[in-house]
Amino acid sequence: MAVRPVLIYPDPMLKQVAVCVLATDATVADLVQDLVDTMAAAGHSVGIAAPQVGDLRRVAVVDVSASKLGQQQHHHGLLEMINPVIIERSGSRVFREGCMSVPEYTGNVTRAEHIVVEFTDRQGRLRVVESDGFEAVAIQHELDHLDGRLFLDRVSSLKTDVFRRKTR
């Protein structure tokens, strides 16, 4: 459909909580496709959530299959998640995260190592997916966006756990 512009922190919309939607709404399918297109156009992204493109609906996509870290372990390919909810989490790991909405910085964030997420897909099917490692981190990162949180909100210390990105 369309590549949408990505909002950059401190845009106040990034701090808003997204609302649940009807998965059967045709505009939701269009939003899912726009998110997939926007993620692909970025060239380096493994996920994006609707609030990052200025849409406050509970929709996010994740696909770690093209990333180096994603190729090192099992993953589910493209996950198109409508109204996702983490229903189980276990373990803990610190991971260096980046974000298209915070392009100048990365940060060390503690996340669950293993999660179970429930969501409706674009075809209207209810899915339950178990995820570990990098994919689990990516899913948690995108679901945070749906709750108005950025990775910056999860770092222990802005002084010691946030890093300026190296210029390419």
Do 69 and 99 touch, CB atoms closer than 8 A? no
Phi/psi at 38 (5° precision): -65, -40
- Reading the block at residue 121, the tokens are 């897909």
* Distance of alpha carbon 26 from alpha carbon 168, whole angstroms: 39
97 annotated active-site: no
- Tell me which residue of 12, 85, 7 sits closest to 48, measured CA to CA: 7
Q: Which of 53, 58, 54, 10 is nearest to 35 (CA)?
A: 53
Strand ranges of the sheet holding 93-99, from the earlier edge strand across to the other edge: 93-99, 102-111, 162-164
Please tell me which residue in 80, 97, 135, 142 is annotated as part of the active site: 142
Look-up of token digits 């189980």: 88
How many alpha carbons lie under 13 Å from residue 11 in its C-beta half-sphere? 17
For residues 52 and 3, the answer to whether their CB atoms sit within 8 Å is: no
Which positions are annotated as active-site residues?
A: 142
